[in-house]
Amino acid sequence: MRVKGLAGAGGRQGSETMALKLLFWELEKHLKSSSGASVVAIDNKIEQAMDLVKSHLMYAVREEVEVLKEQIKELIERNNQLEQENNLLKNLASPEQMAQFQAQVQTGDSPTGAGQPPVLLPAGSTQVLPSSQIPSSSA
């Protein structure tokens, strides 16, 4: 009887061991599948975050490009205006004034520097001022 009881106990122990092994196998399988799913979920969240950062950067870059294009346009307009003013002043300047200007440029002196003595004009001649120095008549 004792052998039968041991055999019966051994059979039950064997089936309990089998049940535990089956339980652990199912648990391990579940954990592996859920950890795989969580890895995929984390990868998806990282990808979404990277896409969000990318879209924000692209928006900021496009905005900065538009600002720079506008600044370039304004600088081109200002450059054209200054070139026209320069050509007008060259056309209105006397040969003596142009020679004096060329001499100042060659020596490296600033032709409009504050340390320069005022240029004396011959009697009856007029001085052409840049548009920024012309007093407004509306005052």
**In angstroms, rounded to a whole number, what is the distance separating the alpha carbons of residues 73 and 95?**
35
Instruction: Provide the mean pLDDT of the chain.
Output: 76
Q: Would you say residue 136 has pLDDT above 70?
A: no
More confident of the two residues 52 and 24:
52
Taking only the tens place, the pLDDT of each residue in 44-81 is: 889 999 999 999 999 999 999 999 999 999 999 999 99
Those residues with Cβ within 8 angstroms of residue 121's Cβ, 6 or more apart along the chain or in another chain: 127
Those residues with Cβ within 8 angstroms of residue 125's Cβ, 6 or more apart along the chain or in another chain: 94
Taking only the tens place, the pLDDT of each residue in 12-22 is: 677 778 877 87
60: burial class by Cβ within 10 Å (0-12, 13-18, 19+)? exposed
